[in-house]
């Protein structure tokens, strides 16, 4: 029996456990002298208080020999010279098919006091985006279950869409509709920076029992440390990647990417990065494409991603909105004016775009959608004249047609949250609107 390899392994093993010690805590930042660790590795900070569990933290930077750590939980009972232990590994979470229907936090632990099911595998939360040459082209539509999207802003399997809106315009309600009505195999929903009250309301009211049956929800509320909010986005993306690699069609819904950027800004400022546009640090604009490019198509499956972007004061050109719009494959603009008029979903079709629609729908579908957009554009352009009665019927044939179709288009764009529409139903109703029957 050859024992040489075993002796070699014993010789290479370091039997001494090395610890660092906490030097100072300033705001979000914990500074320690040692142990040996690289950026991104998880450490445990052992409290000097009795019966206190160790605090998980991550190495986010270093200053000479000192490590800069960010905690995953609130920093309590930590004082000078508390021991810091390195795990030598980045954050991993437990993922598997039996996780479907569960609600977990950013580090993969159930938040309903239940235990994780058995048979899960450890999976890294951070991965590189797929090789561009290994991405399959987006070739077929996916049913979203929202009539205005399926017909006029058709989404493809593996497409990444931004949903841009101010607060209170219906982003979460729209995500709930998509989760319930979509034809995807699995939904992964990341609620990042949400109010604690909204989490239960979203799961009970918007998602419902039917939606939760094929969904994994990752929650990181606004009261949690910045690192937990960032990891919520990374964990949800990692879960989506796991199912994509199994060949599933996955929907990833993240509400909201703006709050992920805000959390990244907090971390960047704490470790000494200079603030740039509107106080956002350079690491924010470096992290966004790395996160958003991880979704999409691969050789095995697809992740169709919907990212909500919270825009301050309905300013669609603020830095995060502008950056995200440039990365994604399309955007839906939710209009406060439409919401105030009682239209739900409040999607401004004329300001929204799906960049892959022309490649995944039939010529007939494309022409019908274009006709409806033209009718809407003509009506909007002349709306003031029409509303004050200055326009006389018969003056312009296009405007007359736009006026006659306007009530029907408005009724078509409205959809009750409980109203299920299949992809083909939406298309047939669009043809009926234009031609008076199925085309």
Query: Do residues 76 and 222 both lie within one domain?
Result: no
Query: Do residues 290 and 312 both lie within one domain?
Result: yes
User: Encoding tokens for residue 38?
Assistant: 């690289």
Q: Which of 345, 360, 375 is the last residue of a domain?
A: 360
Query: Do residues 183 and 232 both lie within one domain?
Result: yes
Q: Which residues of 183-195 are buried (b: 16+ CB within 10 A; e: fewer)?
A: ebbbbbbbbbbbe
- Residue 58: which domain range? 18-90
Query: Do residues 250 and 291 both lie within one domain?
Result: yes
Specify whether the CB–CB gap between 300 and 246 falls below 8 A.
Answer: yes
Query: Do residues 74 and 128 both lie within one domain?
Result: no
Query: Do residues 371 and 404 both lie within one domain?
Result: yes
What is the domain-level CATH number for residue 143? 3.40.50.12240
Query: Do residues 217 and 241 both lie within one domain?
Result: yes
In a domain, 273, yes or no: yes
Query: Do residues 76 and 205 both lie within one domain?
Result: no
Count of the separate structural domains present in the chain: 3
What is the domain-level CATH number for residue 71? 2.40.30.20
In a domain, 12, yes or no: no
Rg (CA), the chain: 25
**Per-residue pLDDT in tens (0 to 9) along the chain, 439 residues:** 567 777 777 777 666 777 899 998 888 889 999 888 999 999 999 887 766 788 899 999 888 889 999 999 887 778 888 899 999 899 999 999 999 999 999 999 999 888 888 889 999 999 999 899 989 999 999 999 999 999 999 999 999 999 999 888 888 889 999 999 999 999 999 999 988 888 988 998 888 888 899 999 999 999 999 999 999 999 999 999 999 999 999 999 999 899 999 999 999 998 889 998 888 999 999 999 999 999 999 989 999 999 999 987 667 778 999 999 999 999 999 998 999 888 899 999 999 999 999 999 999 999 999 999 999 999 999 988 888 888 888 888 899 999 999 999 999 999 998 898 999 999 999 999 998 754 4
In a domain, 1, yes or no: no
In a domain, 290, yes or no: yes
What is the domain-level CATH number for residue 408? 1.20.1270.330
Query: Do residues 233 and 262 both lie within one domain?
Result: yes
Query: Do residues 124 and 184 both lie within one domain?
Result: yes
In a domain, 8, yes or no: no
In a domain, 373, yes or no: yes
Q: Which of 47, 69, 90 is the last residue of a domain?
A: 90
In a domain, 376, yes or no: yes
In a domain, 4, yes or no: no
Partners of 330 in beta bridges: 354
**Model-level pTM?**
0.91
Query: Do residues 233 and 131 both lie within one domain?
Result: yes
Q: Which of 360, 386, 403 is the last residue of a domain?
A: 360
Query: Do residues 104 and 253 both lie within one domain?
Result: yes
């Amino acid at each position: 029996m050859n024992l040489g390899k075993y002796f070699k392994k014993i010789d290479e093993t370091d039997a001494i456990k090395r610890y660092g010690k906490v030097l100072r805590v300033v705001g979000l930042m914990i500074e320690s002298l040692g142990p040996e660790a690289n950026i991104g590795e998880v450490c445990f900070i052992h409290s000097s208080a009795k019966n206190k569990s160790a605090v998980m933290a991550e190495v986010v930077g270093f200053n000479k020999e000192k490590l800069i750590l960010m905690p995953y939980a609130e920093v309590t009972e930590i004082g000078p010279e508390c021991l810091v232990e390195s795990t030598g590994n980045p954050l991993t979470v437990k993922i598997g098919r039996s996780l479907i229907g569960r609600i977990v936090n950013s580090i993969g632990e159930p938040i309903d006091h239940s235990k994780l099911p058995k048979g899960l595998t450890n999976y890294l939360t951070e991965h590189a985006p797929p090789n561009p040459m290994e991405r399959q082209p987006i070739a077929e539509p996916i049913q979203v279950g929202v009539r205005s999207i399926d017909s006029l802003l058709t989404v493809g399997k593996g497409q990444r869409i931004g949903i841009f809106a101010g607060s209170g315009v219906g982003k979460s309600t729209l995500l709930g509709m998509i989760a319930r009505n979509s034809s995807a195999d699995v939904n992964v929903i990341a609620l990042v920076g949400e109010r604690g009250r909204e989490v239960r309301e979203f799961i009970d009211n918007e998602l419902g029992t039917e939606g939760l049956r094929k969904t994994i929800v990752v929650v990181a509320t606004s009261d949690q440390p910045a690192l937990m909010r960032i990891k919520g986005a990374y964990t949800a993306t990692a879960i989506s990647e796991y199912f994509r690699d199994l060949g599933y069609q996955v929907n990833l819904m993240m509400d909201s990417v703006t709050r992920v950027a805000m959390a990244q800004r907090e971390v960047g400022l704490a470790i000494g990065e200079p603030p740039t546009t509107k106080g956002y640090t350079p690491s924010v604009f470096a992290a966004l494409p790395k996160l958003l490019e991880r979704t999409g198509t691969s050789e095995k499956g697809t992740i169709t991603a919907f990212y909500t972007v919270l825009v301050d004061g309905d300013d669609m050109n603020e830095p995060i909105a502008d950056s995200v719009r440039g990365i994604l494959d399309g955007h839906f603009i939710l209009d406060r004016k439409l919401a105030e008029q009682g239209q739900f979903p409040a999607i401004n079709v004329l300001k929204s775009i799906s960049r892959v629609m022309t490649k995944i729908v039939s010529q007939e579908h494309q022409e019908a959608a274009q006709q409806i957009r033209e009718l809407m554009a003509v009506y909007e352009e002349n709306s003031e004249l029409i509303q004050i009665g200055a326009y006389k019927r018969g003056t312009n044939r296009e405007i007359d047609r736009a006026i006659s179709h306007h009530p029907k288009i408005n009724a078509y764009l409205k959809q009750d949250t409980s109203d299920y529409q299949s992809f083909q139903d939406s298309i047939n109703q669009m043809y009926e609107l234009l031609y008076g029957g199925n085309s």
